């Protein structure tokens, strides 16, 4: 006689979704939100000088997996951030489970879900290395950059989860004309450069994560000026893209994506300038870290919408650049 637990386990696949249901879409959104949230909480660890609140890894101390009362608030903050990793694991496992019956026909979704799941232990190991190296600013920077890659993957997952199987296989003209696609490529490159330079600026600044942690010994003022240069170019590129989107008959979804990106770029630029001239107050630095994550997601979303060959949700709208097809 089969044990009830094994019988329930064997019957589980038949109960999992066989199409991109609202559950799949909600889990995709949860994946994106959780990736951004852990960036913000990781920033809170650094900005409260709690980076070595748990001085060991994977244990918190040589004798304890969890933080102890003797470690105070810094131990609680650092250990709390570590616990959020398990939330990401739960969401990632649930996403893979929800896509299990679709792993053949929706390989795009399944591969993205597996990549997000695989990124969690990678990030955990990098986090451990940051502790072992006493918060080396270059390792901390890699920790943040990997998070941005995971944010991009989660953004793609959200977009792909909007499509039915038939829509995901469609081969339609791209949503953006050639000129717009080249502009979107420049926007993607500039966003990447800005994020990388922002990490270097952070490594030269005062918020090291611990009062005894090293800095990268670069000139903060010079690094900030270098960081600002591609920001100006991004503002110009996004403004030009918005103007072209409003003048040309591009899809409404692409127009909305570019307007959203423009709002995010302006807001992030304003916060960046404010934090610089106010001598990097903790609250604004935290907001800027959130903005970097949202900027990365907004740029990835705009680029995806512009280069995709899939239809708008519920429509197969085709658009034209003056005298040009989009292919």
Query: Using one digit for the tens of pLDDT, what is the confidence trace for 28-79?
Result: 999 999 999 999 999 999 999 999 999 999 999 888 899 888 788 999 999 9
Lowest mean pLDDT of 84-88, 113-117, 203-207, name the range: 203-207
Q: How far apart are CA 120 and CA 115, in angstroms?
A: 9
* pTM reported for the whole predicted model: 0.90
CATH number of 171-327: 1.20.120
Average pLDDT over residues 286-308: 95
Question: How confident is the prediction for the chain on average, in pLDDT?
Answer: 88
Q: How far apart are CA 251 and CA 312, in angstroms?
A: 8
Q: How far apart are CA 71 and CA 60, in angstroms?
A: 10
Residue 253 · residue 312 · CB < 8 Å: yes
Query: Using one digit for the tens of pLDDT, what is the confidence trace for 157-198?
Result: 999 999 888 888 877 777 788 999 999 999 999 999 999 999
Query: Using one digit for the tens of pLDDT, what is the confidence trace for 260-290?
Result: 999 999 999 999 999 989 999 999 999 999 9
- At 3 the pLDDT is 59
DSSP structure string for 79-106: HHHHHHHHHHHHHHHHHHHHTGGGTTTT
The burial class, CB within 10 Å (0-12 / 13-18 / 19+), for 123 is buried
* Token pair listed for 115: 């990549």
Residue 70 · residue 64 · CB < 8 Å: no
- At 319 the pLDDT is 40
Domain ranges of the chain: 21-169, 171-327
Query: Using one digit for the tens of pLDDT, what is the confidence trace for 245-258?
Result: 999 888 899 999 99
Phi, psi of 50 (to 5 degrees): -105, 15
More confident residue, 235 or 325: 235
Residue 116 sits at the vertex; the CA angle it makes with 163 and 74, to the nearest 5 degrees, is 130
- At 21 the pLDDT is 87
The burial class, CB within 10 Å (0-12 / 13-18 / 19+), for 189 is middle
More confident residue, 279 or 294: 294
Residue 256 sits at the vertex; the CA angle it makes with 88 and 145, to the nearest 5 degrees, is 35
- At 241 the pLDDT is 96
- At 95 the pLDDT is 94
């Amino acid at each position: 006689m089969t044990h009830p637990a094994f019988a329930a386990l064997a019957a589980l696949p038949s109960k999992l979704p066989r199409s991109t249901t609202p559950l799949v879409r909600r889990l995709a959104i949860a994946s994106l939100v959780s990736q951004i949230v852990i960036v913000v909480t990781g920033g809170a660890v650094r900005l409260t000088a709690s980076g070595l609140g748990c001085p060991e890894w994977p244990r918190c101390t040589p004798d304890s997996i969890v933080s102890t009362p003797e470690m105070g608030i810094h131990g609680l903050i650092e250990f709390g951030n570590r616990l959020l990793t398990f939330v990401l694991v739960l969401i990632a496992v649930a996403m893979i489970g929800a896509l299990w019956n679709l792993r053949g026909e929706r390989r795009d979704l399944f591969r993205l879900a597996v990549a997000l799941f695989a990124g969690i232990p990678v990030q955990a190991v990098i986090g451990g290395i940051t502790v072992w190296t006493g918060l080396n600013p270059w390792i901390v920077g890699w920790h943040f950059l990997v998070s941005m890659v995971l944010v991009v993957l989660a953004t793609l997952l959200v977009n792909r989860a909007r499509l039915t199987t038939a829509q995901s296989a469609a081969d339609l003209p791209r949503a953006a004309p050639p000129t717009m696609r080249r502009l979107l490529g420049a926007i993607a490159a500039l966003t990447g450069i800005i994020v990388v330079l922002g990490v270097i600026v952070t490594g030269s600044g005062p918020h090291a994560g611990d009062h005894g942690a090293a800095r990268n010994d670069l000139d903060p003022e010079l690094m900030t000026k270098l960081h600002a240069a591609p920001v100006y170019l991004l503002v110009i590129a996004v403004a030009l893209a918005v103007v072209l989107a409003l003048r040309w008959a591009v899809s409404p979804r692409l127009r909305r994506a570019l307007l959203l990106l423009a709002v995010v770029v302006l807001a992030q630029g304003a916060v960046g300038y404010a934090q610089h001239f106010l001598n990097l107050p903790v609250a604004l630095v935290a907001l800027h870290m959130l903005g970097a994550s949202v900027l990365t997601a907004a740029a990835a979303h705009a680029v995806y919408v512009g280069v995709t060959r899939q239809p708008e949700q519920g429509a197969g709208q085709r658009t034209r650049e003056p005298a040009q097809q989009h292919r």
